[in-house]
Amino acid sequence: MPRPLSFNQIEAFRAVVLTGTTVAAARMLYTTQPSISRLIHQAQNASGLKLFTNDRGRLQLTREGRQLFETIQLHYQGLERIEQTATALRASGAGVFRIASTPSLAQGILPKVLSRFMHDRPQVHLNVQTPSSRLIEDGLRQGMFDIAITNMAFGGAEFLSHEIHQCEAVLVCAPDHALSSRKVVRIADLQGQTMISLPAHDVLQQEIDKAFAAYGLERHANIETIYSATICAFAAQGLGVGIVNPYVAQLFRDSVAIKRYTPKLPVRTYAMLAKFAPASELVERFLRILRSVMNGDD
């Protein structure tokens, strides 16, 4: 009958996966090879799973072993975050301020915001993560972040949403592109153009696709990427044109032409908080600076 794995069995299993052999795992854990082999044997018996196959003396994970290892790694990553937090508390006495942001906002907005934020709080330890929107939402729900900066508001009663700013998407193209001389690029001008696009689940891309459908036009997306910055970099090389938020476009103003685009596509920026975690003084200050920077206040 399957039994719970002990910590020693889990630790031995992880060490073998990371090092590839029981001998190397023993060195990693400062123990003996027979001890590691015994723990692996016990782990397989306890779990009722075949975790490894032997390939000429080197242990290879089975499918079940791989899935178990991925779950264990998540646990160890959580332990590492705990230690990082403890280290930051010992070093600064002020704790860790954890920010999640979409990559484009992290590149285009956060540097200036954090420069002001840290000016009179140099002792604060920042942890800035730039995962996907789905992971940001899950992390905020699980208490992994103090605040999240996104271009979409998360649904659900567990979140507090603050709309910080609204602007319009812009078109980027190479400086010598045929559209670079236009004061305003219209959607009809994009018919037949090679477009560099965001994934279909991106909120801006969904607005772009809706506009093309409404005008009865076909979008030729030969290149797809998850980052607006990559769209700008590719556009600069003449690989196509793209529609992005203006924050990222400004970072590439020396290498791309940035054009107004119609129909206007709104780009909204939100600060998201978890309701179960009351806003701290750090969160309140960060929000004030974020609003000031995005509204162009000095």
What is the pLDDT, as a whole number, of residue 298? 56
To the nearest whole percent, how much of the chain has pLDDT over 70? Answer: 92
Q: Are residues 257 and 285 in the same domain?
A: no
Contacts of residues 247-255 at CB distance under 8 Å and 24 or more positions apart, as own/partner, are 247/104, 247/105, 247/107, 247/108, 247/109, 248/104, 248/107, 248/108, 249/170, 249/172, 250/108, 251/107, 251/108, 252/172, 255/175
Instruction: Assess whether pLDDT exceeds 60 at residue 141.
Output: yes
Kindly state whether residues 190 and 254 are assigned to the same domain.
yes
Boundaries of domain holding 226: 170-264
pLDDT digits (tens, 9 = 90+) for 27-69: 888 999 999 889 988 988 888 888 888 777 677 888 888 888 8
Q: How far apart are CA 286 and CA 104, in angstroms?
A: 18
**Do 127 and 63 share a structural domain?**
no
The pLDDT score that the predictor gives to residue 92 is 47
| Cα(123)–Cα(92) distance, integer angstroms | 5
Question: Would you say residue 209 has pLDDT above 60?
Answer: yes
At 4 the pLDDT is: 80
Are residues 130 and 274 part of one domain? yes
Report pLDDT digits (tens) over 239-251: 999 999 999 999 9
| pTM (predicted TM-score) | 0.65
- For 159-194, the pLDDT digits (tens) are 889 999 999 999 999 999 999 999 999 999 998 899
> Are both 157 and 181 inside the same structural domain?
no
pLDDT in tens, 58-112: 778 888 888 888 888 877 776 666 666 666 555 544 567 889 999 989 999 999 9
- Looking at the 3D structure of the chain, how many domains does it have? 3
- CATH number where 155 lies: 3.40.190.10
Least confident of 15-24, 71-80, 174-183, 207-216: 71-80
Q: Are residue 237 and residue 110 in the same domain, yes or no?
A: no
